[in-house]
Chains A and B, each alone.
Chain A
Amino acid sequence: MDSVVKVEGLRKAYQSTIAVDEISFEVREGEIFGMVGPNGAGKTTTIECLEGLRKPDKGQVSVLGVDPQHDGHFLHSHTGMQLQQSNLPERMKVWEALDLYSSFYPQSIDWEELLEQLGLDEKRNAPFAKLSGGQKQRLFIALALLPDPELIFLDELTTGLDPQARHAIWDLVREVRLKGKTILLTTHYMEEAECLCDRVAILDHGRIVALDSPVELIRKFGGEERITFSVDQTLPPEFEDSIHQIGELEMQGERIMVEGATGQASFVYDVVSLLAKHNLRFRNLRTEQPTLEDVFLKLTGREMKD
């Protein structure tokens, strides 16, 4: 599979702060690649170097086979970009923005269709300032899709949106990917990265601390999977003996917890069959998988929360 984006040894400093510290990665055609990390980890600086908005101090950057610093025009004609901090004039109407932006590209897709696909049809005459956060982001996605780009950059797409709007945007991003587009996004929501991305680079202090698919990252760094349940009778000692071979047992009142290593394919099955074998009637059985939050904690020793 071809790389759409290639980054080697990228470094960018502002005065004495090193925002991006020699990072390297590739984005493959057709994937959703995510950069996650807390604020100030270097995500936006990286994406802006790829977009040609910032000049790297050091390192090689290639996007769609060109250097963003030298072929900005080509890049801007063939990629769609949604920026973290950008706006349209307050009184510009939704349809006017689409009409205007489509005139910038030699070939652009029909914006009337986009308006409908992105659920902005009702808002076509609304001025930009009157749109909700989610509607603004949908409009920015529409603008990014206008040139029918091969690659789309989405920087902090859902920051500040309520959960419902966020989920609606996720669905949209998945739909865009189904059209064969490559997507590079940044987010500081681990949940977003986990739900959307095929591969995730976790950034911290300007470095990539891990890069893999969310499933693999969780398997490697996520720690333990946990099952909790309640039973009415006391546990027979034989049960306790056998469960030690599967995982660790802990009891909190009448809640019983078993923790096992992640990626053990039959962990839940093993625990449940053991319960059945000892004829223990369990209630409220719940399984808790580790998340990318746990991965981040494990890798950096800190919580993701800003």
Chain B
Amino acid sequence: MKSLLKMTWIEAKLFLREPVGAFFTLIFPLMMLFLFGSIYGNVPTQYFGGRGTVDISVPAYVAMIIATTSLVGLTITMAAYREKGVLRRLRTTPVSPLVVLAAQVIVLFLMTSLGMLLLIVAGKLVYQMRFDGDAMSVIIGFILCCLSFFALGFVLAGLMPTARTAQVVGMVLLYPMLFLSGAGFPRELLPESILKISRFLPLTYVVTLLRGLWIGDSWSQHLTEVLVLLGMLVLGVILSVKTFRWE
């Protein structure tokens, strides 16, 4: 327990010392919010079901943060730790690999939550963002989305031979997904043909679930998303245990 606390604390500091990771988790989503907020404002429109751009963008940007921390942050960190022998050094101590993984999960979860919190505060203060959801449901949905994407990140980290390939593959998966899933900009702007593709992207389910819960949808309206994400989580955990390598 002592080692988990220490490792979590140090990993959190390391996360914040890494400018690129901290930027994309905490600052970049805010920049997007202010950019599109300043262009479109937050005036309710029929186009977004009576909501403004900011109202529907905040949950989508939360999905963007989740995808970025998992597919880029987590994957590169773990692949680099393995490649450089950080894990190897840990392996010669009595510390359990679970502690190493748990510390990563906790830190990324906290940082993703912090990113979400910044978006909510900025949305509320600057654009009077509307929130009609049940806070508890949103938190539970958020946790589910985080965990299933972290699991995906661990699988990817286990499969990638080097930090460099992890970075490339992570980016290649992330960027198209950001645009096609409705995380980077509203899905309402995408043509029908693209929406067909987006059904095969895991991030789409995160965006749909978070946007839905955000406006007060009930869980029963989102059983598909919940099942897909739960399936991803279970499969991801099994696969990441199988693909985990110390070196």
Contact = CB atoms under 8 A, between A and B. Distances in A.
A77 B93 CA distance: 6
B199 to A, nearest CB: 39
A101 interface: yes
Interface in B1-43: 2-3, 5-7, 10, 13-14, 17-18
A104 B95 contact: yes
A100 B92 contact: no
Contact of A87 (B7, B14, B84, B94): B84
A86 interface: yes
Contacts of B92: 51, 53, 76, 81, 83
A104 B94 contact: yes
A86 B3 contact: no
A235 B91 CA distance: 67
B107 to A, nearest CB: 12
A88 B95 contact: no
B86 interface: yes
A143 B92 CA distance: 11
A96 B92 CA distance: 18
Given A53-B91, A76-B93, A91-B14, 18 more contacts: A53-B92, A73-B94, A76-B92, A86-B86, A86-B88, A87-B85, A89-B14, A89-B81, A92-B14, A99-B10, A100-B3, A100-B7, A103-B3, A103-B7, A104-B3, A104-B93, A104-B95, A143-B89
7 contacts: A86-B85, A89-B14, A91-B18, A92-B10, A99-B6, A100-B3, A104-B95
A105 interface: yes
A105 B86 contact: no
B214 to A, nearest CB: 35
Contacts of A266: none
A85 interface: yes
B106 to A, nearest CB: 15
Interface in A52-101: 53, 73, 76-77, 81, 83, 85-89, 91-92, 96, 99-101
A149 to B, nearest CB: 11
B86 A83 contact: no
A77 B94 contact: yes
A182 B14 CA distance: 35
Chain A interface bracket (under 10, 10 to 19, 20 to 34, 35 or more): 20 to 34
B85 A83 contact: yes
B110 to A, nearest CB: 18
B6 A76 contact: no
Interface in B58-106: 81, 84-86, 88-89, 91-95
Interface of A: 51, 53, 73, 76-77, 81, 83, 85-89, 91-92, 96, 99-101, 103-105, 143
Kindly list the 9 A-B residue pairs having the minimum CB-CB distance in the complex, ordered from nearest. Answer: A86-B85, A86-B89, A81-B92, A103-B6, A87-B84, A103-B3, A104-B95, A91-B17, A104-B93
B237 to A, nearest CB: 23
Nearest to B15: A91
A2 B86 CA distance: 34
Contact of A85 (B3, B18, B81, B85): B85
B86 A89 contact: yes
Nearest to A73: B94
A118 B170 CA distance: 41
Contacts of B6: 99-100, 103
Contacts of A89: 14, 81, 86
A105 B94 contact: yes
A23 B88 CA distance: 25
Contact of A96 (B10, B86, B88, B91): B10
